[in-house]
Structure 1
Amino acid sequence: MTQTICYLNGKYIPFDQASLPLNDLGIVRGYGVFDFLRTYQGVPFRLRAHIQRLQNSAKLIGLTIPWSTEEIEAIAQNTLGHNHLPEANIRIVVTGGVSTDFITPLGQPSLMVIVSPVSEYPKDYYEQGVKAITVQVERFFPKAKSLNYISAIGALQQAKLTNAVEALYRNQQGHVLEGTTTNFFVFRGSQLITPKENILNGITRAVVLELAENYFEVVEEAIDYSELSSCEEAFITSSTKEIMPIVQVDEISISQGKPGENTQRLMHLFHKYTRG
């Protein structure tokens, strides 16, 4: 098996030889940001948008990134080029870098790019739909894709106990916000509704909104948990899941337990858009 090559602080090296100092703030404090995307036909999908979101995430947590957008783009492309994969995931990570007192950034962050093969979800997830649960969680810095995934890891462990594929965050006001790694959408009639506030703006979410505006009335507003039972359809989006139909949330059945027509239409449009 061919060894995966990653990028770390100026070097392209085998993945199993890459390491960070033990006083890197990404390790000892979870201080850092990342972004994640995949390729279609070997081309990174909306790479610049992902890098700009990475930069915005860093700005929100006060982490200075010394590399330009173009430099990070080139590093990501070069790392991809060092690996010969038909389709790849690309993970770009910036940590706070080494710290002599284990808490104060010295202004020298670490940059890594990790490439891995794309693994597909089972077809029946898309043909039959999946279950999600809700958990009462409000993310710290929701607009930042930070390294802090403690709440997500715990929520997904809860989801697995009930054979659910995703856990959706619900705030104290009873609004369903987003998933651990996904954005959340519902259909009510011809209205496509998705939350706008207190969420991470997904790149796949943005593509879905672009595709949907020609066919549906797009509404960006809060989704109340109590309204889920009256929604005709629901789905989640992400770089890995693309558009995945949700047919059950907790004990609430949606779309009569099968993917709805509007969701299937968007799935078709997205597949056509990304794969031609």
Structure 2
Amino acid sequence: MSPCHIRKLTAQGLAPVDYTAESLAEAAQYEPHAGVYTVTNTFNTFQVLKFDAHLDRLEDSARQAHIPLQLDRPKLRQALHLMIREAGFGDVRFRVTVPADDPETFILSLEPFKPLSPELIASGVRCQTSAVIRSNPEAKTTDWMHDRTSIEAALPPGVYTALLVDEQGTILEGINSNFYAVLRRELRTAGAGVLPGIAQQIVFEVAPAILPVNREAVTVTQISSLNEAFITSSSRGVLPVVAINDIQIGEGRPGPYTMSIRHAYLAWMDTHLEDL
């Protein structure tokens, strides 16, 4: 079996697709440029975190894209459960895609889930800014899923991901993550012009007990002044950033605020997992 398990969910149930792929990233090339999607992962094989929040955002993205989505959540959950059992991967990372031209058919793709290594968390990652602007950042649309591949391909060796900046130099978000910076004992992140992240919802729950949160983004001119930085996404959780554009952040290693937020995030997650 291909490492990526893919099916269509139609009104009649699950059906095969006419392609195979080794990963979600490879499978994306066969998916439509017009549509909406969401990506997350399972824990303990059949448990999920804030899955209804993912589906809420999927519905909101469809509204923004003028896609008449009618979402049967129990049916979708049942189909995913069956596919996870069929695949036998254990924990999976999966994508739900709704094509604009056929919103009654969902494309369900899953691959084995590989959590971040302890070494990557301990060392942190390097990022690079990009001036590419998303046409509608507040909707999770498939055109961006395709467009960002060229940004990823152009990243130099050793750079983990790109951070999007606007014409004023404001650091908005990662290409598939939210971005945060600690500046003068305050957590800063963009409050507009970005995709509302599901992992970000958890950060906003736990971070205020650790330091004040200010939803005003930092700029590229402030990179050298940042004390700490990190990105979040559903599959990564909290991932420290130690350099941007080859400029060291703080002491060049994951900072105490970042790691406190990461530990609080994991504790929150442990008490909020639910069955798929």
Which interval holds the TM-score relative to the shorter structure?
A: 0.7 to 0.9
1:152 has 2:148 as partner: yes
| Equivalent position amino acid for 1:133 in 2 | Q
Residue segments in structure 1 that go unaligned for 5+ positions in a row: 19-25, 99-107
- Measure how far apart 1:63 and its partner are: 0.8
Cα pair distance change 1:28/1:52, threshold 3 Å? closer
**Equivalent-residue separation in structure 2 for 1:73 and 1:253 (angstroms):** 43
1:218 has 2:213 as partner: yes
Over the residues paired in the alignment, what is the CA RMSD in angstroms? 2.5
1:36-55 to structure 2, matched below 5 A, reads: 36-42=39-45, 43-55=47-59
Task: Give SS of 1:33's match.
Answer: strand
Residue 246 of structure 1 corresponds to which residue in structure 2? Answer: 241
**Equivalent-residue separation in structure 1 for 2:254 and 2:50 (angstroms):** 27
| Equivalent position amino acid for 2:229 in 1 | A
- Measure how far apart 1:84 and its partner are: 3.2
**Equivalent-residue separation in structure 1 for 2:19 and 2:180 (angstroms):** 41
1:172-251 to structure 2, matched below 5 A, reads: 172-251=167-246
Q: Decide which of 114, 120, 130 is 1:119's aligned counterpart.
A: 114
Q: Decide which of 242, 253, 257 is 1:258's aligned counterpart.
A: 253
| Equivalent position amino acid for 1:123 in 2 | P
For CA contacts below 8 A with separation 6 or more, give which structure has more relative contact order. Answer: 2
Contact 1:236 1:243 survives alignment (8 Å): yes
- Measure how far apart 1:16 and its partner are: 6.6
Structure 1 residues 8-17 or 63-72, which shifts more?
Answer: 8-17
**Equivalent-residue separation in structure 1 for 2:226 and 2:193 (angstroms):** 21
**Equivalent-residue separation in structure 1 for 2:74 and 2:151 (angstroms):** 36
Residue segments in structure 2 that go unaligned for 5+ positions in a row: 21-28, 272-276
Deviations 1:109-161 (A, max 9, x none): 421222221013333221011100001011011111111134411221222x2
| Equivalent position amino acid for 2:56 in 1 | Q
Contact 2:84 2:90 survives alignment (8 Å): no
Cα pair distance change 1:119/1:14, threshold 3 Å? farther
**Equivalent-residue separation in structure 2 for 1:262 and 1:16 (angstroms):** 47
Residue 123 of structure 2 corresponds to which residue in structure 1? Answer: 128
TM-score by length of 2: 0.85
Deviations 1:84-104 (A, max 9, x none): 332111211100236xxxxxx
TM-score by length of 1: 0.85
Contact 2:182 2:227 survives alignment (8 Å): yes
Count of residue pairs brought into register by the alignment: 260
Contact 1:36 1:89 survives alignment (8 Å): yes
**Equivalent-residue separation in structure 2 for 1:264 and 1:157 (angstroms):** 29
Deviations 1:212-265 (A, max 9, x none): 122211111122111121110000001222111100000211021111011111
Contact 2:228 2:258 survives alignment (8 Å): yes
| Equivalent position amino acid for 1:135 in 2 | S
Residue 30 of structure 1 corresponds to which residue in structure 2? Answer: 33
**Once the two structures are aligned, what percentage of the paired residues are identical?**
24
**Equivalent-residue separation in structure 2 for 1:185 and 1:147 (angstroms):** 24
Task: Give SS of 2:209's match.
Answer: coil
Cα pair distance change 1:246/1:17, threshold 3 Å? closer
- Measure how far apart 1:81 and its partner are: 4.2
Residue 94 of structure 1 corresponds to which residue in structure 2? Answer: 98
Cα pair distance change 1:29/1:81, threshold 3 Å? closer
Contact 1:48 1:73 survives alignment (8 Å): no
Q: Decide which of 63, 70, 79 is 2:67's aligned counterpart.
A: 63
Cα pair distance change 1:28/1:233, threshold 3 Å? closer
Cα pair distance change 1:139/1:87, threshold 3 Å? same
